[in-house]
Amino acid sequence: MYVYRMHRISSGAFDTSGAFLYSGRWHSAGTRVIYAAQHVSLAALEILIHSSRRPVPDMLMTEIEIPDQMSIEQTEWMEMDQSRRFGSEWVQSGRSAVLRVPSKAVNGLEFNFLINPVHADFQRIRQAVSHDFAFDRRLFPEL
């Protein structure tokens, strides 16, 4: 299975420094975790949601290959406090290398994937091809 991660050109696809510094929906600051999306469009939408309506610089969209035989844990929707605790505990427990979570951006109809970079199976997850990605400037009419 392929999932998609949008990231800064200056950062690697598996860079966890942003997650370590800032809390997200499914983790608390101080937790090293990698977020990816089910589709390219969802990865882009998630970035736009967090851009505070400011123009987004050119980025990279990286395909990440999760082996088909790898076990993927999944969970249902949770409110923010509960999801942050759940995700952080999931990373610390080392139960699985990948966690599938519903995306609030699309009312839970598509999924994001959290990847645990300290899990033993993380070494089986591969960064595939990266593509330059520039947001359509029509999204930012003030430019």
Q: Which two tokens stand for residue 113?
A: 């994937």
- Are β-strands 111-115 and 34-37 bridged in parallel, bridged antiparallel, or unpaired? antiparallel
pLDDT for position 143: 53
What is the overall mean pLDDT for the chain? 95
pLDDT for position 82: 98
Return the higher-pLDDT residue of 53 and 102: 102
pLDDT for position 140: 85
The reported pTM is 0.94
pLDDT for position 53: 78
Q: Which two tokens stand for residue 88?
A: 């952080």
pLDDT tens per residue across span 68-80: 999 999 999 999 9
Q: What whole-number distance in Å separates Cα of residue 141 and Cα of residue 34?
A: 31
- Type of residue numbered 58: D
Q: Is the pLDDT of residue 51 over 90?
A: no
pLDDT tens per residue across span 10-48: 999 999 999 999 999 999 999 999 999 999 999 999 999
